[in-house]
Amino acid sequence: MAWPYHFVDLTEAQKQQRRQNLDFYAIVAQLSALAPLLAIQCYFLCSKLANRSRVDEDVPSSPHLKNGRHGERSGLSNARLIWRKLAWRCGEPVDAAGGYLGRRGEVSAAAVWLVYLLVLCFPRTGDDYLHLTKRFGIVAASQLPLHYLLAIKSPYSPITLMTGCTHERLNIIHQLLGRIITILLLLHASFYLNFYVRSGLLAAKVQEAYVVCGIVAIISFVVIGTTTLAPIRKRSYRAFYIIHVTLSAVLLPILWFHVSHIRVFVYEAAAVYALNVGLRMLDSKQQSGSLRVIPNSSLVELSVDNTRLSGKKWLREWRPGQHGYIALVDGNVPYALRRNPFSVVSVPAIDGHLRFVARILSGNTTRLAHQAKLGQTNHRVHIEGPYGTGNHIDTLLQYDRILLVAGGVGATFILPLYQQLLSDLSPSKGSYRRQKATFVWIARSMADVTWALPESTTAREGFAERLKIYLTGNVTNDAEIGDSRYAIRERVEEGRAVYAENQEGIELEERKGLLGEEKVESGGGDVQIYAGRPDLRRLVDRTFSHRDSERVAVVVCGPGGLNRGLRREVGRWAAKGRAVWFWEEHFAL
């Protein structure tokens, strides 16, 4: 089949008609984004209605009632079973280029959106090659305002308010949409390049300002997309962040000078950018806090207590599982270029203070650690937040069984959830309600754990009631755990490999043999400590081994191998139709 598009000469009337078609399909492409947003609203509404109508699934003791209920509810149960399996499959992670690309449902939706936008590029183009070329560009430009909207971190983001999704989930969609825009712009640029070469205009065109702006814009999009790849981002987060922030701001004036026809979308994107800056300023405060490097670990801690805190209402806004961006106040360098995400490891509503912990890496965290070692007791820090999902506890309390798993520094996300959960389930140690929760923490050494344990013996006993700690370092005797108050309860025997970690998470690399867990009775110490790794399959099977009607929540935060291994084991039960809520927290930047 011959290529249908050609270089054609148009009259002024035809060029005007082409311009109208270009503007029309750009508006259609932009307004089409309302469809998935409305679909999400419908989904939330249906979910609420389904939860209200959900009946108690306990099986009646009477055979007559059992048969009656089975007849009445079989259709609904089958539909719920199919929905659970579909939802689980859509939640499968998709990895690409050595990093996390998104969930299967999100990646599939992005692919559909790309195809839809490409389809919008062809109607009413006839055989006009330049019309198709321009259509790629203007349809890409129409997505810029949405792209910038998805980048807003504040909980007051318009899309967050519409969908209930936090920045962590929207950021994945933001990245996928950025790749879609880059693909369309590359098509736009390559088609124009072909036209210039075949028409002998290349030498003249590359000297014109608007073409140069277009070339710079394309290169900027490619650079931004390249630096977001996991290997590059992990190698130098600081370079990634500075490039991303700088180019996202510079791109808008470059596109404004490129062509006048896309300026309406540039204005919209600029307004969104200004909104983002304003919201981040509202979410930011300067506080006086203390810094310290946690002994025998690579962790740095920032603590802001009530006596140093300005704004008690702001303190109450922080919830377990959230994070903030921390930077030392320094007039020489803009704090926006020096901030790093820190997880809040305290529960302000209970503890009355803010406490942040992060792994010491290159850049800002190294600088914070250096300041901490200088011995100063008072530091002016810039805290931006809170960001992240703040309703995890409300969700967890709706489930009958809860499993929390942390790998290494991933405990900074899990710990406040665990602390708040114990408080909400029951304030009394040993209560029946507390038995529904289990927290498993896999760490390299006891030094990576003791910072989180309360100093008071009474408080520590209650805190450690549902906690199991697995040390994966080369622990040969109890003394090596670093604290005489703790002892190894059991050195678990080697078993079959359930998960492996060969690329990230040093705390899971120290001990290559996978270890299986045996039940250990409490006694002696107040913290259950094991040498080795837990058998994830056995751990998950125990969680699901109760009534089939129990709804189970599993939350994990750690290296990719741990997250994938746990999801694989939970997936065996999800495939059987068990009601599962699985939350995998990523430390993606």
Higher pLDDT, 241 or 149: 149
Q: Do both 424 and 349 map to the same domain?
A: no
Q: Do both 380 and 508 map to the same domain?
A: no
Q: Do both 288 and 276 map to the same domain?
A: no
> Domain for residue 444, yes or no?
yes
Please calculate the CA angle 554-560-562 and round it to the nearest 5 degrees.
Answer: 50
The CB density around residue 438, as the number of other CB atoms within 10 Å, is 18
Q: Is the dihedral of CA 241, 320, 104, 505 positive or negative?
A: positive
| Domain finish residue from 387, 415, 430 | 387
* Whether residue 66 has pLDDT greater than 70: no
Q: Do both 156 and 301 map to the same domain?
A: no
Q: What CATH number did the domain enclosing 302 receive? A: 2.40.30.10
Q: What CATH number did the domain enclosing 581 receive? A: 3.40.50.80
| Domain finish residue from 222, 251, 280 | 280
> Domain for residue 506, yes or no?
yes
Q: Which two tokens stand for residue 286?
A: 């300067």
Phi and psi at 109, nearest 5°, equal: -65, -40
Confidence of residue 473 (pLDDT cuts 50, 70, 90): confident
Q: Which of 580, 571, 587 is nearest to 89 (CA)?
A: 571
> Domain for residue 63, yes or no?
no
Phi and psi at 357, nearest 5°, equal: -135, 140
Mean pLDDT for the stretch of residues 47-64: 53
> Domain for residue 353, yes or no?
yes
pLDDT at 49: 67
Q: Which two tokens stand for residue 442?
A: 């896999």
pLDDT at 388: 82
* Whether residue 503 has pLDDT greater than 50: no
Q: Do both 372 and 478 map to the same domain?
A: no
DSSP 8-state secondary structure symbol assigned to residue 485 = T
- SS3 for 14? helix
> Domain for residue 88, yes or no?
no
> Domain for residue 162, yes or no?
yes
Q: Do both 532 and 544 map to the same domain?
A: yes
**H/E run at residue 313:** helix 312-316
Q: Do both 199 and 231 map to the same domain?
A: yes
Mean pLDDT for the stretch of residues 581-587: 82
pLDDT at 1: 55
Q: Do both 244 and 317 map to the same domain?
A: no
Percent of the chain with pLDDT over 70: 81
- Cβ atoms of residues 381 and 302 within 8 Å: yes
CA distance 12 to 10: 7
Query: For residue 103, which amino acid is it?
Result: R
The CB density around residue 244, as the number of other CB atoms within 10 Å, is 17
Q: Which two tokens stand for residue 70?
A: 């089975």
The CB density around residue 222, as the number of other CB atoms within 10 Å, is 14
Out of 73-87, 197-211, 260-274, which region has the weakest mean confidence (pLDDT)? Answer: 73-87
Confidence of residue 59 (pLDDT cuts 50, 70, 90): very low
> Domain for residue 54, yes or no?
no
User: How many domains, in total, are found in the chain?
Assistant: 3
Q: List the beta strands (DSSP E) in 430-478.
A: 437-443, 467-471
Residue located via tokens 């007039």: 331
Q: Do both 267 and 307 map to the same domain?
A: no
From the CA atom positions of the chain, what is the Rg in Å?
27
**Sheet (strand 490-491) strand order:** 490-491, 528-531, 467-471, 437-443, 401-407, 552-557, 580-585
Residue located via tokens 């977001």: 228
Q: Do both 251 and 300 map to the same domain?
A: no
Query: For residue 249, which amino acid is it?
Result: A
Q: Do both 116 and 143 map to the same domain?
A: yes
| Domain finish residue from 280, 310, 326 | 280
pLDDT at 190: 96
pLDDT at 41: 74
Mean pLDDT for the stretch of residues 227-237: 75
Query: For residue 35, which amino acid is it?
Result: A
* Whether residue 200 has pLDDT greater than 50: yes
> Domain for residue 1, yes or no?
no
Q: Do both 125 and 154 map to the same domain?
A: yes
The CB density around residue 497, as the number of other CB atoms within 10 Å, is 12
Mean pLDDT for the stretch of residues 399-412: 93
Q: pLDDT tens across 415-439, in order?
A: 999 999 998 988 777 778 888 999 9
List, as one string, the DSSP characters of 527-548: SEEEES---HHHHHHHHHSS-T
What Å distances lie between residue 478 and 68, 87, 444, 473, CA to CA?
59, 45, 14, 12
Length of the chain: 589
Domain that holds residue 543: 392-585
Burial of 325 (0-12, 13-18, 19+ CB in 10 A): buried
Q: Which of 567, 540, 573 is nearest to 100 (CA)?
A: 567
- SS3 for 340? strand
